[in-house]
């Protein structure tokens, strides 16, 4: 999985630049390259904890690290459906920006950004037939999120499926039949912050 979300060619470039600077200006060049690498590592680090062992299929957890900015009820969305509860989570650039499955599910549909919708859309289908939607937006630098799933892919709760370069916004769409257990301004941790509960009687249908 690696320690960061950076592609391998980045490491090769940093190594080459470090050696080049060391030849030109000596040890200070190497130290400068090491500092740049350290900053990139801190920003693009991957979450070390593996939460898959203690997953709870009766709740929907936060797919990202950040802060709940806004909660809207009775929202209609062309891609995710009608009468949804929208939970907007802001992910700052200093947080770990992985994207994780909010619940054990199958990827039902994926839509990349387009002129009419700048968000990347991912629809998760639960075993009970309910859909959970994720609208992943661009950040202030207009960097697109990296989403590495296709329709038909399945994943357990808290499994990583992509990342947000330099943070951004993620909107979670939850069916109104489920009770939202989070409040605005709450800080959430990916795989730990509970957004909503899934009643057993609904799950067994």
pLDDT in tens, 66-115: 999 999 999 999 899 999 999 999 998 777 778 999 999 999 999 987 66
Is 203 a residue whose pLDDT tops 60? no
Distance between CA atoms of 70 and 72, rounded to whole angstroms? 7
Q: What is the pLDDT of residue 199?
A: 81
Is 160 a residue whose pLDDT tops 80? yes
Q: What is the pLDDT of residue 36?
A: 75
The pLDDT-based confidence of 204 (bands split at 50, 70, 90) is very low
Q: What is the pLDDT of residue 131?
A: 94
Element (H, E) at 175: strand 168-175
Q: What are phi and psi of 135, to 5 degrees?
A: -110, 110
Q: What is the pLDDT of residue 44?
A: 67
| E strand intervals along 32-152 | 59-61, 66-77, 81-91, 98-100, 105-111, 120-125, 131-136, 146-147
Distance between CA atoms of 57 and 200, rounded to whole angstroms? 10
State what percent of residues in the chain have pLDDT above 70: 81
Average pLDDT score over residue span 1-7:
64
Question: Kindly report the CA angle at 178 between 187 and 150, in degrees rounded to 5?
Answer: 80
Is 163 a residue whose pLDDT tops 80? yes
Pairing of strands 160-163, 120-125: unpaired
Q: What is the pLDDT of residue 114?
A: 63
pLDDT in tens, 9-52: 776 777 777 778 778 887 777 777 778 777 666 666 666 555 55
Comparing 52 with 163, which gets the higher pLDDT?
163
Measured between alpha carbons, how far is residue 17 from residues 13, 28, 137, 148, 202 in Å? 6, 12, 33, 30, 57
Closest CA to 128 of 150, 103, 153: 103
The pLDDT-based confidence of 205 (bands split at 50, 70, 90) is very low
Distance between CA atoms of 133 and 110, rounded to whole angstroms? 10
Q: Which residues pair with 188 in a beta bridge?
A: 66
Q: What is the pLDDT of residue 112?
A: 83
């Amino acid at each position: 999985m690696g320690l960061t979300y950076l592609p391998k060619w980045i490491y090769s470039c940093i190594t080459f630049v470090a050696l080049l600077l060391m030849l030109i200006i000596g040890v200070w060049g190497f130290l400068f390259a090491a500092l740049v690498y350290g900053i990139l590592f801190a920003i693009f680090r991957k979450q070390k904890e593996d939460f898959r062992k203690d997953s709870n299929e009766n709740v929907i957890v936060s797919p990202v690290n950040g802060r709940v900015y806004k909660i809207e009820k009775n929202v209609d969305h062309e891609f995710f459906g009608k009468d949804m509860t929208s939970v907007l989570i802001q992910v700052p650039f200093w947080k770990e920006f992985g994207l994780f499955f909010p619940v054990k599910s199958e990827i039902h549909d994926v839509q990349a950004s387009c002129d009419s919708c700048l968000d990347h859309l991912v629809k998760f289908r639960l075993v009970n037939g309910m859909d959970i939607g994720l609208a992943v937006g661009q950040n202030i630098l207009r960097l697109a999120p990296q989403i590495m799933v296709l329709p038909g892919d399945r994943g357990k709760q808290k499994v990583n499926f992509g990342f947000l370069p330099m943070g951004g916004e993620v909107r979670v769409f939850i069916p109104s039949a489920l009770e939202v257990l989070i409040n605005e301004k709450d800080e959430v941790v990916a795989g730990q912050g509970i957004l909503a509960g899934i009643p057993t009687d609904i799950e067994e249908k």
